[in-house]
Each structure stands twice: as C-alpha cells, then as structure tokens.
C-alpha cells in the first residue's frame, strides 16, 4: 500500500543538503530557504500505546474528552451522530455492584479490522502503530465503523469550518483518535488527554512507547495486570486498561 519511508536515509539526506547549503551560501546572502528541517517521520521501532488506570479515572470527570475536543478542533457533540474521538464509559458489575469509569477511544490495534475492510486503503496503520484515516482517499463508506469492535470511529455528517491547522477534518470522511499524531511527530511525548488527566490530578492515562523497555508505560504494563478490551478478538490493541 504505502511505500516504506526510510527515515534514517531521509534524515541523512536532509542533513547533507542543509550542510551543503550552509557552505555554498555567502554570509548575508540567502538564496534558498534551508532552515526548514523536516521531522524524521514514523519509526517502526516505536509502538505508541496507552495504559489507562481505571482505578484512578474519576467518575463524571470528562477532562480528557474536553482536551481532545480542544486539541483537535471538535465541537462538543450535540447529537449522537456528531464526531467523538474519545468518550467516557461508566460500567458496573451487576453481581457485586462494583463500578468503574474509563475513557474509550481508538485502541490502535496491531491487527486493525478497520484497515482490513477499507476498500480504498484510506484506513491504515503507520509504522509506529498509530491507526489513522487518510482523508485524501477516504470515500466515506463507513465500513471501518462497522468493523471496529470499539465503536471508536465517527463520520462527519456536516460541513466544518475553522479546523485546526494541524488537524484537517471535513465532511464525508470517517475519523477517530489519532493519538495526537501531530504532536507526536513534532517530538511531543504526550497526548492532549493524558496531559489533561495529569493536570486534573488523576494521572489515569499513561502514554508512551511500548517497545521501549525503559519507558514508563512499559514498566507499568510489566508490573501491573492490565487487559485489552475484547481480548478475545486478538487484535493486540495499543491501549490497555488496568483495574477492570
């Protein structure tokens, strides 16, 4: 589908070009804009994921949802069909009465069913495990919404205006949580929801690289019991839940 991106080679060429440009240009005379350095891009060595501690997630708190809306330019949903990238779910075990609150968003599966069913290749998984929709090729058929067992995806029914510059969105496309890909690509180490949760004092969302044994998320998933939602489907989600 998409061609593999050799990040290291690109990086080298970029540095080389910048170096040559720097040598060639006389001081004070700038012929070409060399300053712009592109980010290295998604690396297959990384697997971005989240660990959500449901014991810390406060019932009724929607800071993560608000932060997501603000970050990505989503209007607070007024109707059930309005786009929603992250939602709070309250669960209760009837037998014991134990209740828990947890955010549910795209689980960024290693084996994403949405990618399997997409007829145009618009739904895809990046090298670093983030599952996205390429709106340039999305035809809005919504097969992926049917296929997703987490109901993570939304369809944009209405024309939009004033999108965020980093988060283009539009009518007629399916969309879902991007793990704040625009921030991650720029080197940011957290997402809007995790940031908001930490700011609210809950710290229920830990974002990080599951492939890095030194990362906090790796240490946590090693130390405590965590589960994947609908583990029976064996989709290997990047989002895991603790205390369910």
Partner 1 sequence: MTPPRSAFGASPPGGVSPHRASACALASGWRTPCDMQVARRRQRTGRAGSAASAWLRWQLLGRSLVLALTGCLLPAVADDGRALWPTIEKPAKGAQCVEDTATMRRQHMDLLKHQRDDTVRGGIRGAKHSLKDCVGCHAGAKTGSVAAAPGDFCVSCHTYAAVTIDCFECHTGKPAAVAQRKP
Interface positions with partner 1 (CB under 8 A): 2, 5, 7, 10, 33, 36-42, 66, 69-70, 73, 124, 126-128, 132, 134-136, 159-160, 162-166, 168-171, 173, 181-182, 184-186
CA distance 185 to 14: 17
Helix, strand, coil shares, percent, the chain, to 5:
25, 20, 55
Smallest separation (angstroms) from partner 1 to the CB of 58? 21
Smallest separation (angstroms) from partner 1 to the CB of 90? 24
CA distance 210 to 226: 13
Smallest separation (angstroms) from partner 1 to the CB of 216? 22
CA distance 21 to 112: 43
Nearer to partner 1, 172 or 203 (CB): 172
Smallest separation (angstroms) from partner 1 to the CB of 27? 17
Nearer to partner 1, 75 or 224 (CB): 75
Nearer to partner 1, 165 or 213 (CB): 165
Locate the DSSP E strands across the chain.
48-53, 86-92, 99-105, 123-125, 131-133, 154-155, 174-175, 205-209, 226-227, 239-242
Helix (H) or strand (E) holding 219: helix 216-223
Nearer to partner 1, 88 or 220 (CB): 88
The position carrying tokens 């919504």 is: 142
Smallest separation (angstroms) from partner 1 to the CB of 185? 5
Nearer to partner 1, 5 or 56 (CB): 5
Reference 239, options 142, 113, 110, 121; nearest CA is: 110
Nearer to partner 1, 30 or 55 (CB): 30
The alpha carbons of the chain give a radius of gyration, in whole angstroms, of 20
Answer yes or no: are the C-beta atoms of 105 and 130 closer than 8 Å: no
Smallest separation (angstroms) from partner 1 to the CB of 57? 22
């Amino acid at each position: 589908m998409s061609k593999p991106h050799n990040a290291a080679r690109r990086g080298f060429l970029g540095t080389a070009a910048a170096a040559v440009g720097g040598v060639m240009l006389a001081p004070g005379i700038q012929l070409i804009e060399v300053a712009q350095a592109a980010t290295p891009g998604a690396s297959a060595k990384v697997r971005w994921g989240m660990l959500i501690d449901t014991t810390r997630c406060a019932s009724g708190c929607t800071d993560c949802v608000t932060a997501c809306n603000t970050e990505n330019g989503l209007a607070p949903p007024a109707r059930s069909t309005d786009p929603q990238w992250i939602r709070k779910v309250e669960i209760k075990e009837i037998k014991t009465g134990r209740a828990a609150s947890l955010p549910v968003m795209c689980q960024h599966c290693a084996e994403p069913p949405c990618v399997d069913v997409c007829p145009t290749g618009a739904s895809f998984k990046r090298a670093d495990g983030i599952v996205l929709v390429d709106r340039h090729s999305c035809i809005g058929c919504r097969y992926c919404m049917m296929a997703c067992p987490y109901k993570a995806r939304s369809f944009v029914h209405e024309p939009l205006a004033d999108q965020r510059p980093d988060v283009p969105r539009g009518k007629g496309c399916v969309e879902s949580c991007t793990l704040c890909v625009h921030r991650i690509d720029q080197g940011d180490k957290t997402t809007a929801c995790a940031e908001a949760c930490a700011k609210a004092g809950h710290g229920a969302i830990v974002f990080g690289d599951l492939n890095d044994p030194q990362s906090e998320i790796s240490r946590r998933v090693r130390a405590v019991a965590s589960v994947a939602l609908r583990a029976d489907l064996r989709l290997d989600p990047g989002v895991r839940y603790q205390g369910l």
